[in-house]
Amino acid sequence: MAGTGDRIVIVGGGIAGLATALHLAPMPVTLIAGGGLGGECSTRLAQGGVAAAMGPDDSAALHAADTLEAAAGLGDAAVAERVTRAAPIAIDWLIRLGVQFDRDAAGAALVLGLEAAHGRRRILHAGGDRTGQRILDTLVDAVRAAPSISVLENVWADSLALGTSGEVVGVHLRQAEVAFHTGSVFYPARAVVLSTGGIGGLYGATTNPLGSTGSGLLLAARAGAVLRDLEFVQFHPTAISVGRDPMPLATEALRGEGACLINGAGEPVMADVPGADLAPRDIVAATLFARIARGEDVFLELPEDLARGLAHRFPGVAALCAANGVDLARRRIPVRPAAHYHMGGVRVAGNGRTSVAGLWACGEVASTGLHGANRLASNSLVEALVYARWIAEDLQSAAAGSKPPKVVPPSHRGGATGHAAPWLRALMDRCVGVARDDAGLREAVCDLASAAFGRDGDDHTLTALLIAVSALNRRESRGAHRRHPQTSAEGRSSEWTLAEVRAQVLELTSGEPALQEAS
């Protein structure tokens, strides 16, 4: 691996990683795509589009205001203002790369869709609800054609390589097929960018690929990075409830086009809630969850014209319904909330830098301050795109180190890869899900801690523990974190390091000597 220390390593091959690699050209970049380039990632599944204020009645200020309203008091106004101003530039960049966003019948104007909690039509789609797939395919083609980008497929980052001052100086890599650590290879880098996506695979009910288990979050945590707002997990209200794992999605854009939520008796479910069917996502998810907990079924009812034109306007949802035996002639799609997006992540500054020297983060793994306690629909692809550019600009202006780094040997052995265990996913659904309380969160922390610090502990239990500890410590309800009863109103972001989580677990489990010893 000699001679690669002037490279930038990007870990993760979704929209955030691909866009960062392309913006960095012609600087030499190595992109680590664990599951293969263009393979399983949340970007591919994204039905909703990209939010950008491009309509004549819209502005970045209005988009920022909607973003902050949804963020429930924890959004960063300066970040929202900067991201929403940059959003149309990101769209132009995608169009120049070849993404064909949907246009009107004359093929001239971009079609702008409406989604929940957006005050204006500002969602761009490509191929109807196949936006993520179209963007991903275009970015993958561009990356494959870029001579500055080397792609390592079916290789995993086992840990971040640290120098003697705690700075990131590369990654320790291993082959995907090797389930347990049998020795990794040091791959030096002048900077590492994490773009590993979210954590939905830690939940039983999720719309994410099952491999989305927060690997990047844990890489950063083990390197000592500050993590922010981990308790805020967004549940999408309308995952299609047909027994599939992960759950297929019925995009929120359907409600923007007139679909409404009803119960088995055909009564509207959202009628008495402010914002009704277009209320913010956390409110819709919590309303549906409460109904389902009372034994009701919930359906997304399509108006007749939408049901008739579904295959044309929403081909992805129509195909998913057909493949899963949902009879569109009945115009009812069975739905329920499912873990969908992680607002929390590795804390980053406006240039994507984490608290650890040499480490940047982009996309869902990062916490930029844009989403606060609840993300506005279709704001994630755009966030990844604009931060990818800002990270590239920052790296282009930063000088490479002149001396080869001294590397500290890795301090942990890699745990299980692949999907999270069924018991863990069930525990997260039950105790760290849409509705939370003190007893459930304590149960989750204790069960996860004994697994994470016990003999069979793996990365998934430790990552889930980080989320559970953050959730236990937020004693209020805010955005996607709904806690009953709430005993304080904190109103500020939470920040944790892995060392602080360990210390708190020790305190909480002081009666359990086995745990004390292990942690």
Interacting residues of 136 by C-beta distance below 8 A, sequence separation 6+: 14, 15, 18, 38, 41, 43, 44
- Give the shortest CB-27-to-ligand SIN separation in angstroms: 30
DSSP notation for 120-164: S--EE-BTTB-HHHHHHHHHHHHHHH-TTEEEEESEEEEEEEEET
DSSP designation for 357? T
Which residue of the chain is nearest ligand SIN when measured via CB? 48
Per CB under 6 A, contacts with ligand SIN among 221-280 are 251-253
The least CB distance from residue 154 to ligand SIN, in Å, is 28
Nearer to ligand SIN, 253 or 261 (CB): 253
378 binds ligand SIN (CB under 6 A): yes
SS3 of residue 187 by DSSP:
strand
Could you say which of 11, 191, 225, 377 contacts ligand SIN (CB under 6 A)? 377
Binding to ligand SIN in span 111-170, by CB under 6 A: none
**C-alpha–C-alpha distance, residues 208 and 420, integer Å:** 13
What sign has the CA pseudo-torsion 486, 487, 492, 495?
A: negative
Number of C-beta neighbours around residue 244 at 10 A = 12
Instruction: Decide if 312 contacts 305 (C-beta within 8 A).
Output: no
CB of 247 to ligand SIN, least distance (A): 13
Of the candidates 124, 105, 13, the residue with the CA atom closest to the CA atom of residue 58: 124
Q: CA-to-CA distance for 287 and 93, rounded, in angstroms?
A: 38
Which one, 7 or 281, has the nearer CB to ligand SIN?
281
Q: Compare residues 115 and 158 and give the one whose CB is closer to ligand SIN.
A: 115
Active-site option among 82, 281, 332, 375: 281
53 or 377, CB closer to ligand SIN?
377
How far apart are CB 340 and ligand SIN at their closest, in Å? 6
Q: Which is nearer to ligand SIN, 14 or 48 (CB)?
A: 48
* 84 makes contact with ligand SIN (CB under 6 A): no
Helix (H) or strand (E) segment spanning residue 380:
helix 380-397
Look up tokens 């955030």; give the residue: 16
Residues in the chain: 519
Q: Which is nearer to ligand SIN, 52 or 160 (CB)?
A: 52
- Please enumerate in sequence order all residues whose Cβ is within 8 A of that of 127, keeping only pairs 6 or more positions apart, or say none: 100, 102, 133, 134, 315
Residues 317-346 that bind ligand SIN (CB under 6 A): 340-341
Of residues 162-221, those binding ligand SIN (CB under 6 A): none
294 is catalytic: no
Kindly identify the residues of this chain, within the stretch 385-444, that bind ligand SIN according to CB under 6 A.
none
- Least distance in angstroms from the C-beta of 201 to ligand SIN: 16
The distance of closest approach from Cβ of residue 381 to ligand SIN in the complex, given in angstroms and rounded to an integer, is 7
| Cβ neighbours of residue 374 closer than 8 Å, sequence gap 6 or more | 70, 71, 72, 232, 234, 280, 281, 282, 343, 479, 480
Number of residues that bind ligand SIN (CB under 6 A): 10
Site for ligand SIN in 26-55 (CB under 6 A): 47-48
Q: How far apart are CA 291 and CA 243, in angstroms?
A: 19
Is residue 380 close enough to count as binding ligand SIN by CB under 6 A?
yes
* Catalytic residue annotation: 281
Question: Applying CB under 6 A, which residues contact ligand SIN?
Answer: 47-48, 251-253, 340-341, 377-378, 380
